[in-house]
Amino acid sequence: MREMETRKGSISVLMLPWLAHGHISAFLELAKRLTEKNFFIYFCSTSINLNSIKKMLPEKYSPSVQLVELHLPSSPELPPHLHTTNGLPPHLMRVLKIAFEESKPFFSHILNTLNPDLIMYDFNMPWVSASASLLNIPSVLFFSFGSLFISFAFRFMENPDAEYPFQSIQLHESEKTSLKAMLEFSTNGVKDVDLILESIKLSRDVMLIKTSTEIEEKYIDYLSMLVKKKVQPVGPLVQEIVDKDEDTEVMRFLHKKDESSVVFVAFGSEFFLSNEEREEIAYGLELSRVSFIWVVRFPVGEKTTVEEALPVGFLDRVGDLGMVVEGWAPQAKILTHPSTGGFVSHCGWNSVLESIKFGVPIIAMPMHIDQPLNARLVEEVGVGVEVKRDETGRLDRKEIARVIRRIVVEKHGMEVRNKARELSEKMAMKEVEEIDEVVEEMVKLSGKRK
Protein backbone atom coordinates (compact mmCIF):
# COMPACT_ATOMS: atom_id res chain seq x y z
CA MET A 1 0.00 0.00 0.00
CA ARG A 2 1.18 3.53 -0.79
CA GLU A 3 0.74 4.76 2.79
CA MET A 4 2.74 1.86 4.22
CA GLU A 5 5.61 2.59 1.85
CA THR A 6 5.48 6.30 2.61
CA ARG A 7 5.53 5.92 6.38
CA LYS A 8 8.42 3.45 6.44
CA GLY A 9 10.96 4.73 8.96
CA SER A 10 8.71 7.64 9.99
CA ILE A 11 6.44 8.18 13.00
CA SER A 12 2.77 7.89 12.03
CA VAL A 13 0.28 10.22 13.70
CA LEU A 14 -3.50 10.05 13.48
CA MET A 15 -5.03 13.52 13.91
CA LEU A 16 -8.68 14.10 14.76
CA PRO A 17 -9.68 17.76 15.21
CA TRP A 18 -13.13 19.03 16.17
CA LEU A 19 -15.29 19.80 13.10
CA ALA A 20 -14.68 23.57 13.08
CA HIS A 21 -12.56 25.40 10.52
CA GLY A 22 -10.30 27.08 13.12
CA HIS A 23 -9.52 23.73 14.74
CA ILE A 24 -9.03 21.90 11.42
CA SER A 25 -6.69 24.58 10.06
CA ALA A 26 -4.57 24.51 13.25
CA PHE A 27 -4.20 20.71 13.10
CA LEU A 28 -3.44 20.87 9.38
CA GLU A 29 -0.70 23.47 9.83
CA LEU A 30 0.87 21.34 12.58
CA ALA A 31 0.61 18.32 10.26
CA LYS A 32 2.56 20.20 7.58
CA ARG A 33 5.33 21.13 10.05
CA LEU A 34 5.59 17.52 11.27
CA THR A 35 5.84 16.04 7.77
CA GLU A 36 9.00 18.11 7.33
CA LYS A 37 10.43 16.27 10.36
CA ASN A 38 9.83 12.72 9.04
CA PHE A 39 6.29 12.20 10.36
CA PHE A 40 3.47 10.60 8.38
CA ILE A 41 0.01 12.03 9.09
CA TYR A 42 -3.39 10.39 8.88
CA PHE A 43 -5.79 13.36 8.91
CA CYS A 44 -9.28 12.32 9.95
CA SER A 45 -12.48 14.34 9.45
CA THR A 46 -15.89 14.25 7.79
CA SER A 47 -16.28 14.24 4.01
CA ILE A 48 -17.43 17.88 3.79
CA ASN A 49 -14.35 19.02 5.74
CA LEU A 50 -11.98 16.79 3.79
CA ASN A 51 -13.16 18.48 0.57
CA SER A 52 -12.06 21.83 2.02
CA ILE A 53 -8.78 20.37 3.31
CA LYS A 54 -7.86 19.14 -0.19
CA LYS A 55 -7.96 22.77 -1.36
CA MET A 56 -5.86 23.94 1.61
CA LEU A 57 -3.16 21.29 1.25
CA PRO A 58 -0.33 22.11 -1.20
CA GLU A 59 0.72 19.27 -3.48
CA LYS A 60 4.15 18.95 -1.86
CA TYR A 61 2.55 17.63 1.36
CA SER A 62 0.26 15.03 -0.22
CA PRO A 63 2.77 12.11 -0.08
CA SER A 64 3.00 12.51 3.71
CA VAL A 65 -0.60 13.42 4.60
CA GLN A 66 -3.34 10.86 3.99
CA LEU A 67 -6.94 12.03 4.38
CA VAL A 68 -9.17 9.58 6.26
CA GLU A 69 -12.95 9.93 6.25
CA LEU A 70 -14.86 9.78 9.53
CA HIS A 71 -18.47 8.68 8.98
CA LEU A 72 -21.06 10.36 11.18
CA PRO A 73 -24.58 8.98 11.47
CA SER A 74 -26.68 10.84 8.91
CA SER A 75 -30.25 11.96 9.53
CA PRO A 76 -32.85 14.16 7.83
CA GLU A 77 -32.00 16.85 10.41
CA LEU A 78 -28.24 16.54 9.83
CA PRO A 79 -27.37 15.46 6.27
CA PRO A 80 -23.66 14.96 5.36
CA HIS A 81 -23.16 18.52 4.04
CA LEU A 82 -23.85 19.75 7.59
CA HIS A 83 -21.19 17.54 9.20
CA THR A 84 -19.16 20.68 9.93
CA THR A 85 -19.65 23.79 12.07
CA ASN A 86 -19.04 26.02 9.03
CA GLY A 87 -22.42 27.42 8.07
CA LEU A 88 -24.20 25.21 10.60
CA PRO A 89 -27.45 26.72 11.95
CA PRO A 90 -26.90 27.31 15.71
CA HIS A 91 -29.81 25.08 16.76
CA LEU A 92 -28.04 22.09 15.14
CA MET A 93 -24.79 22.42 17.13
CA ARG A 94 -26.00 20.00 19.81
CA VAL A 95 -27.15 17.56 17.10
CA LEU A 96 -23.70 17.69 15.46
CA LYS A 97 -21.94 17.05 18.77
CA ILE A 98 -24.15 14.03 19.43
CA ALA A 99 -23.52 12.67 15.91
CA PHE A 100 -19.77 13.18 16.41
CA GLU A 101 -19.85 11.22 19.67
CA GLU A 102 -21.86 8.47 17.95
CA SER A 103 -19.03 8.02 15.44
CA LYS A 104 -16.93 6.31 18.17
CA PRO A 105 -17.34 2.75 16.79
CA PHE A 106 -16.27 3.88 13.32
CA PHE A 107 -13.28 5.74 14.77
CA SER A 108 -12.27 2.61 16.68
CA HIS A 109 -12.33 0.72 13.37
CA ILE A 110 -10.07 3.39 11.80
CA LEU A 111 -7.72 3.11 14.76
CA ASN A 112 -7.49 -0.66 14.50
CA THR A 113 -6.94 -0.53 10.75
CA LEU A 114 -4.27 2.19 10.67
CA ASN A 115 -2.55 1.32 13.97
CA PRO A 116 -0.66 4.67 14.22
CA ASP A 117 2.27 5.32 16.54
CA LEU A 118 0.54 8.33 18.10
CA ILE A 119 -2.83 10.09 18.22
CA MET A 120 -3.55 13.82 18.46
CA TYR A 121 -7.05 14.80 19.51
CA ASP A 122 -9.01 17.95 20.28
CA PHE A 123 -10.29 19.62 23.46
CA ASN A 124 -13.70 17.91 23.63
CA MET A 125 -13.08 14.23 22.85
CA PRO A 126 -11.67 12.20 25.75
CA TRP A 127 -13.19 9.09 24.13
CA VAL A 128 -10.42 9.25 21.49
CA SER A 129 -7.76 8.89 24.17
CA ALA A 130 -9.75 6.13 25.87
CA SER A 131 -10.00 4.18 22.58
CA ALA A 132 -6.27 4.64 21.98
CA SER A 133 -5.32 3.37 25.42
CA LEU A 134 -7.09 0.05 24.71
CA LEU A 135 -4.54 -0.46 21.92
CA ASN A 136 -1.66 0.92 23.99
CA ILE A 137 -1.30 3.88 21.59
CA PRO A 138 -0.18 7.12 23.29
CA SER A 139 -2.47 10.10 22.72
CA VAL A 140 -1.83 13.82 23.05
CA LEU A 141 -4.28 16.68 23.40
CA PHE A 142 -3.72 19.63 21.06
CA PHE A 143 -5.43 22.91 21.97
CA SER A 144 -5.97 25.46 19.21
CA PHE A 145 -6.88 28.07 21.87
CA GLY A 146 -4.28 30.15 23.69
CA SER A 147 -2.79 29.43 27.12
CA LEU A 148 -4.39 32.48 28.70
CA PHE A 149 -7.87 31.33 27.76
CA ILE A 150 -7.29 27.69 28.77
CA SER A 151 -5.75 28.62 32.13
CA PHE A 152 -8.48 31.22 32.82
CA ALA A 153 -11.23 28.74 31.93
CA PHE A 154 -9.57 25.97 33.97
CA ARG A 155 -9.35 28.23 37.02
CA PHE A 156 -12.90 29.46 36.41
CA MET A 157 -14.16 25.84 36.23
CA GLU A 158 -12.59 25.13 39.62
CA ASN A 159 -14.02 28.25 41.26
CA PRO A 160 -16.00 30.89 39.31
CA ASP A 161 -15.51 33.42 42.15
CA ALA A 162 -11.73 33.08 42.36
CA GLU A 163 -9.64 35.97 41.05
CA TYR A 164 -7.37 35.18 38.13
CA PRO A 165 -3.83 35.77 39.48
CA PHE A 166 -2.79 38.13 36.68
CA GLN A 167 -4.58 41.39 37.48
CA SER A 168 -4.29 42.91 33.99
CA ILE A 169 -6.51 40.11 32.66
CA GLN A 170 -10.09 40.16 33.88
CA LEU A 171 -13.55 39.56 32.45
CA HIS A 172 -16.60 41.78 32.84
CA GLU A 173 -19.60 40.19 34.56
CA SER A 174 -21.50 39.73 31.29
CA GLU A 175 -18.43 38.00 29.78
CA LYS A 176 -18.17 35.70 32.80
CA THR A 177 -21.85 34.78 32.38
CA SER A 178 -21.23 33.97 28.71
CA LEU A 179 -18.15 31.85 29.53
CA LYS A 180 -20.07 29.94 32.22
CA ALA A 181 -22.93 29.22 29.80
CA MET A 182 -20.47 27.94 27.19
CA LEU A 183 -18.66 25.65 29.62
CA GLU A 184 -21.93 24.27 31.00
CA PHE A 185 -23.35 23.49 27.56
CA SER A 186 -24.19 19.79 27.63
CA THR A 187 -24.50 17.06 25.02
CA ASN A 188 -26.33 13.85 25.97
CA GLY A 189 -26.21 15.00 29.60
CA VAL A 190 -22.42 15.54 29.62
CA LYS A 191 -21.18 19.11 30.09
CA ASP A 192 -18.51 20.49 27.79
CA VAL A 193 -16.51 21.43 30.87
CA ASP A 194 -16.32 17.76 31.90
CA LEU A 195 -15.20 16.74 28.40
CA ILE A 196 -12.43 19.36 28.51
CA LEU A 197 -11.22 18.31 31.96
CA GLU A 198 -11.22 14.63 31.00
CA SER A 199 -9.41 15.41 27.72
CA ILE A 200 -6.68 17.21 29.67
CA LYS A 201 -6.40 14.41 32.21
CA LEU A 202 -5.99 11.68 29.56
CA SER A 203 -3.31 13.47 27.50
CA ARG A 204 -0.09 11.46 27.91
CA ASP A 205 2.60 13.43 29.84
CA VAL A 206 2.35 16.54 27.67
CA MET A 207 -0.25 18.86 26.16
CA LEU A 208 0.31 20.78 22.92
CA ILE A 209 -0.98 24.31 22.50
CA LYS A 210 -1.08 26.70 19.55
CA THR A 211 0.85 29.67 20.91
CA SER A 212 4.32 31.16 21.32
CA THR A 213 6.36 31.76 24.47
CA GLU A 214 7.06 35.22 23.05
CA ILE A 215 3.49 36.32 23.79
CA GLU A 216 2.24 33.87 26.45
CA GLU A 217 5.20 32.55 28.45
CA LYS A 218 3.78 33.29 31.92
CA TYR A 219 0.38 31.86 30.93
CA ILE A 220 1.99 28.70 29.54
CA ASP A 221 3.85 28.24 32.86
CA TYR A 222 0.68 28.91 34.86
CA LEU A 223 -1.37 26.46 32.78
CA SER A 224 1.33 23.81 33.23
CA MET A 225 1.10 24.28 37.00
CA LEU A 226 -2.71 24.00 36.93
CA VAL A 227 -2.90 20.84 34.80
CA LYS A 228 0.24 19.24 36.29
CA LYS A 229 1.61 18.41 32.83
CA LYS A 230 4.17 19.88 30.49
CA VAL A 231 2.51 22.41 28.19
CA GLN A 232 4.41 22.54 24.91
CA PRO A 233 3.81 25.52 22.56
CA VAL A 234 3.82 24.64 18.86
CA GLY A 235 4.17 28.21 17.56
CA PRO A 236 1.54 30.36 15.78
CA LEU A 237 1.04 27.89 12.87
CA VAL A 238 0.06 30.62 10.42
CA GLN A 239 -0.73 29.26 6.96
CA GLU A 240 1.75 30.09 4.22
CA ILE A 241 0.58 32.57 1.59
CA VAL A 242 0.06 31.24 -1.91
CA ASP A 243 -0.58 33.16 -5.18
CA LYS A 244 0.90 36.28 -3.60
CA ASP A 245 0.74 38.31 -6.83
CA GLU A 246 -2.82 37.41 -7.69
CA ASP A 247 -4.51 40.48 -9.19
CA THR A 248 -7.88 40.85 -7.49
CA GLU A 249 -10.16 43.82 -6.96
CA VAL A 250 -9.15 43.86 -3.29
CA MET A 251 -5.44 43.94 -4.13
CA ARG A 252 -5.98 46.68 -6.72
CA PHE A 253 -7.79 48.73 -4.06
CA LEU A 254 -4.83 48.33 -1.68
CA HIS A 255 -2.25 49.18 -4.36
CA LYS A 256 -3.85 52.64 -4.72
CA LYS A 257 -3.64 53.48 -1.00
CA ASP A 258 -0.83 55.01 1.08
CA GLU A 259 1.34 52.87 3.34
CA SER A 260 -0.37 51.75 6.61
CA SER A 261 -3.52 53.76 5.75
CA VAL A 262 -6.17 51.01 5.43
CA VAL A 263 -7.96 48.96 8.10
CA PHE A 264 -9.05 45.43 7.33
CA VAL A 265 -12.35 44.54 9.03
CA ALA A 266 -13.25 40.85 9.44
CA PHE A 267 -14.91 38.74 12.12
CA GLY A 268 -13.89 35.19 11.26
CA SER A 269 -15.54 32.40 9.33
CA GLU A 270 -18.10 31.26 11.92
CA PHE A 271 -19.34 34.40 13.67
CA PHE A 272 -22.09 36.66 12.34
CA LEU A 273 -22.73 40.24 13.47
CA SER A 274 -26.16 41.28 14.68
CA ASN A 275 -27.92 44.06 12.77
CA GLU A 276 -27.14 46.49 15.59
CA GLU A 277 -23.42 45.57 15.67
CA ARG A 278 -23.18 45.87 11.89
CA GLU A 279 -24.80 49.32 11.99
CA GLU A 280 -22.46 50.65 14.71
CA ILE A 281 -19.39 49.33 12.86
CA ALA A 282 -20.59 50.93 9.61
CA TYR A 283 -21.09 54.32 11.24
CA GLY A 284 -17.81 53.93 13.15
CA LEU A 285 -15.92 53.35 9.91
CA GLU A 286 -17.68 56.31 8.29
CA LEU A 287 -16.88 58.61 11.22
CA SER A 288 -13.22 57.56 11.27
CA ARG A 289 -12.63 58.74 7.68
CA VAL A 290 -10.04 55.96 7.38
CA SER A 291 -9.87 53.73 4.29
CA PHE A 292 -11.18 50.20 4.88
CA ILE A 293 -11.84 46.76 3.44
CA TRP A 294 -14.77 45.17 5.26
CA VAL A 295 -15.74 41.51 4.87
CA VAL A 296 -19.48 41.17 5.52
CA ARG A 297 -20.86 37.67 6.00
CA PHE A 298 -24.34 36.18 6.46
CA PRO A 299 -25.43 32.75 7.72
CA VAL A 300 -26.06 30.09 5.06
CA GLY A 301 -29.55 30.48 3.66
CA GLU A 302 -30.07 34.08 4.81
CA LYS A 303 -31.47 36.04 1.88
CA THR A 304 -29.88 39.42 2.64
CA THR A 305 -27.86 41.64 0.31
CA VAL A 306 -24.95 43.83 1.44
CA GLU A 307 -26.93 46.95 0.47
CA GLU A 308 -29.87 45.86 2.65
CA ALA A 309 -27.62 44.96 5.58
CA LEU A 310 -25.81 48.31 5.77
CA PRO A 311 -27.23 51.74 6.71
CA VAL A 312 -29.09 53.53 3.92
CA GLY A 313 -26.66 55.50 1.76
CA PHE A 314 -23.55 54.14 3.53
CA LEU A 315 -21.83 52.82 0.39
CA ASP A 316 -22.48 56.09 -1.49
CA ARG A 317 -21.22 58.23 1.39
CA VAL A 318 -17.93 56.34 1.87
CA GLY A 319 -17.34 56.04 -1.89
CA ASP A 320 -13.73 55.21 -2.80
CA LEU A 321 -12.68 55.45 0.84
CA GLY A 322 -13.91 51.93 1.58
CA MET A 323 -14.61 48.58 0.01
CA VAL A 324 -17.19 46.05 1.23
CA VAL A 325 -16.63 42.41 0.26
CA GLU A 326 -19.31 39.77 0.81
CA GLY A 327 -18.36 36.36 2.19
CA TRP A 328 -14.59 36.02 1.86
CA ALA A 329 -11.39 37.97 1.23
CA PRO A 330 -7.72 36.83 1.12
CA GLN A 331 -7.01 37.75 4.75
CA ALA A 332 -3.31 36.82 4.84
CA LYS A 333 -2.56 38.70 1.62
CA ILE A 334 -4.40 41.78 2.89
CA LEU A 335 -2.56 41.71 6.22
CA THR A 336 0.84 41.47 4.51
CA HIS A 337 0.14 44.34 2.10
CA PRO A 338 2.11 47.54 2.97
CA SER A 339 -1.06 49.66 2.72
CA THR A 340 -2.71 47.77 5.60
CA GLY A 341 -2.28 49.67 8.86
CA GLY A 342 -4.70 47.91 11.20
CA PHE A 343 -6.99 44.90 11.64
CA VAL A 344 -10.48 45.36 13.12
CA SER A 345 -10.86 41.86 14.53
CA HIS A 346 -13.13 39.79 16.76
CA CYS A 347 -9.86 38.41 18.24
CA GLY A 348 -10.39 34.78 17.38
CA TRP A 349 -7.09 33.13 18.30
CA ASN A 350 -6.13 32.32 14.70
CA SER A 351 -6.69 35.94 13.65
CA VAL A 352 -4.70 37.29 16.63
CA LEU A 353 -1.70 35.09 15.81
CA GLU A 354 -1.94 35.87 12.11
CA SER A 355 -2.03 39.61 12.79
CA ILE A 356 1.00 39.45 15.12
CA LYS A 357 2.84 37.19 12.68
CA PHE A 358 2.40 39.81 9.94
CA GLY A 359 3.13 42.75 12.26
CA VAL A 360 -0.29 44.41 11.92
CA PRO A 361 -1.81 46.29 14.92
CA ILE A 362 -5.19 45.03 16.14
CA ILE A 363 -8.34 47.09 16.76
CA ALA A 364 -9.87 44.54 19.11
CA MET A 365 -13.64 44.03 19.02
CA PRO A 366 -14.21 40.71 20.86
CA MET A 367 -17.59 39.00 20.70
CA HIS A 368 -17.65 35.76 22.75
CA ILE A 369 -15.87 32.59 24.03
CA ASP A 370 -12.09 33.21 24.23
CA GLN A 371 -12.17 36.50 22.32
CA PRO A 372 -12.51 38.96 25.28
CA LEU A 373 -9.46 37.37 26.95
CA ASN A 374 -7.52 37.41 23.69
CA ALA A 375 -8.33 41.12 23.34
CA ARG A 376 -6.96 41.82 26.86
CA LEU A 377 -3.79 39.92 25.89
CA VAL A 378 -3.44 41.96 22.68
CA GLU A 379 -3.45 45.15 24.80
CA GLU A 380 -1.13 43.67 27.42
CA VAL A 381 1.59 42.77 24.91
CA GLY A 382 1.19 46.16 23.22
CA VAL A 383 0.06 45.12 19.73
CA GLY A 384 -3.43 46.60 19.74
CA VAL A 385 -6.18 48.57 21.45
CA GLU A 386 -9.59 47.23 22.48
CA VAL A 387 -12.81 49.00 21.51
CA LYS A 388 -14.60 49.47 24.84
CA ARG A 389 -18.30 48.67 25.03
CA ASP A 390 -20.82 50.61 27.14
CA GLU A 391 -22.17 49.31 30.46
CA THR A 392 -24.81 47.24 28.65
CA GLY A 393 -22.18 45.55 26.46
CA ARG A 394 -23.11 47.47 23.31
CA LEU A 395 -20.68 48.79 20.71
CA ASP A 396 -20.56 52.56 20.17
CA ARG A 397 -19.76 54.10 16.78
CA LYS A 398 -17.78 57.02 18.25
CA GLU A 399 -15.58 54.65 20.27
CA ILE A 400 -15.01 52.50 17.18
CA ALA A 401 -13.95 55.57 15.17
CA ARG A 402 -11.73 56.80 18.03
CA VAL A 403 -9.76 53.53 18.29
CA ILE A 404 -9.41 53.17 14.51
CA ARG A 405 -7.97 56.68 14.25
CA ARG A 406 -5.72 56.08 17.25
CA ILE A 407 -4.15 53.08 15.50
CA VAL A 408 -4.05 54.31 11.88
CA VAL A 409 -3.82 58.11 12.05
CA GLU A 410 -2.40 59.21 15.41
CA LYS A 411 1.14 58.96 16.79
CA HIS A 412 0.20 56.08 19.15
CA GLY A 413 -0.42 53.91 16.09
CA MET A 414 3.25 54.09 15.11
CA GLU A 415 4.28 52.80 18.56
CA VAL A 416 1.82 49.90 18.33
CA ARG A 417 2.91 49.13 14.76
CA ASN A 418 6.58 49.05 15.80
CA LYS A 419 5.74 46.76 18.73
CA ALA A 420 3.75 44.44 16.43
CA ARG A 421 6.68 44.19 14.01
CA GLU A 422 9.16 43.59 16.82
CA LEU A 423 7.01 40.83 18.30
CA SER A 424 6.55 39.31 14.84
CA GLU A 425 10.32 38.97 14.42
CA LYS A 426 10.78 37.45 17.89
CA MET A 427 7.93 34.99 17.35
CA ALA A 428 9.36 33.89 13.99
CA MET A 429 12.78 33.22 15.55
CA LYS A 430 11.18 31.14 18.32
CA GLU A 431 8.94 29.12 16.00
CA VAL A 432 11.67 26.78 14.69
CA GLU A 433 12.82 26.00 18.22
CA GLU A 434 9.25 25.29 19.40
CA ILE A 435 8.52 22.86 16.55
CA ASP A 436 11.80 21.04 17.29
CA GLU A 437 10.69 20.69 20.92
CA VAL A 438 7.32 19.30 19.77
CA VAL A 439 9.11 16.73 17.62
CA GLU A 440 11.32 15.73 20.56
CA GLU A 441 8.25 15.19 22.77
CA MET A 442 6.42 13.18 20.10
CA VAL A 443 9.45 10.97 19.42
CA LYS A 444 9.75 10.32 23.17
CA LEU A 445 6.09 9.40 23.45
CA SER A 446 6.00 7.13 20.44
CA GLY A 447 9.10 5.37 21.80
CA LYS A 448 7.20 4.56 25.01
CA ARG A 449 4.76 2.37 23.09
CA LYS A 450 5.40 -1.28 23.94
Q: Please confirm, yes or no, whether 23 is among the known catalytic residues.
A: yes
Q: Which of 23, 83, 337, 346 is catalytic?
A: 23
Residues recorded for the chain: 450
Residue 400's beta-bridge partner residues? Answer: none
The DSSP annotation for 234-279 comes to ----PPPP-STT---HHHHHHHTSPTT-EEEEE--SS----HHHHH
Q: Please confirm, yes or no, whether 320 is among the known catalytic residues.
A: no
Cβ neighbours of 411 (radius 10 Å): 7
Beta carbons of 233 and 435 less than 8 angstroms apart: no
Q: How far is CA 444 from the centre of its chain?
A: 28
Half-sphere exposure of 397 (CA within 13 A, CB side): 14
- Cα distance between residue 115 and residue 122, in whole Å: 19
Q: Which of 21, 117, 122, 370 is catalytic?
A: 122
* CA nearest to 285, candidates 387, 398, 386, 361: 398
- Cα distance between residue 254 and residue 332, in whole Å: 13
Beta strands in 283-432 (DSSP E): 291-296, 322-326, 340-345, 362-364, 384-386
Cβ neighbours of 37 (radius 10 Å): 15
Cβ neighbours of 392 (radius 10 Å): 6
Beta carbons of 400 and 340 less than 8 angstroms apart: no
Strands 262-266 and 139-143 come out as unpaired
Q: Give the residue numbers marked as catalytic.
A: 23, 122
